[in-house]
Amino acid sequence: MTIQQWLFSFNGRIGRRDFWIWIGVWLIALIVLFTLAGAEIMPYSTAGFFLSGSLIPTAAVMVKRLHDRNKKGWWALLFIPAWLLLAGNWESFGTLAQWGLGRFIPTLILVMVIMDLGAFVGTQGENRFGKDTSEVKYR
């Protein structure tokens, strides 16, 4: 698999190693971008633009990893309600709602998805999403 297929195609399967390589690169890039924005070296709008641009490759990597687990790529959409719940303003609700809706449920979703994608072994051999995983050729 080429780098273009890895980052911009929603077809195929990838293993845990290639998933974690992308997640690591993505997180380091976001930390650097928002650190520069926080130090007022770069505007936050520029960092947000790069974050938005990185969502397609991140979604492609997640979908291919889900395919390796023999699951449909639509499961990646669980990140949207988790993010919305984390971003919500829960101060007008009681303490239990603040903790449950604002922290516990989104954290549970995120942990479960990350464990499923990053820790569990994919389907051995061929599954409904294609042949066995292929290594990404980084050269």
**Could you read off the pLDDT of 50-76 as tens digits, one per residue?**
999 999 999 999 999 999 999 998 988
- In three-state secondary structure terms, 9 is coil
Residue 134's pLDDT is 77
Q: How many residues does the chain have?
A: 139
Residues 6+ apart with CB under 8 A from 129: 11, 12, 13, 67, 68, 70
Q: Where exactly are the structural domains of the chain?
A: 3-119
**What pLDDT is stored for residue 58 in this prediction?**
94
- Give tens-digit pLDDT for 86-126: 888 777 777 887 888 888 888 999 999 999 999 998 888 88
- Please, are residues 5 and 55 in contact by the beta-carbon 8 Å criterion? no
**What pLDDT score was predicted for residue 89?**
79
- Asked whether residue 139 carries a pLDDT value surpassing 80, the answer given is no
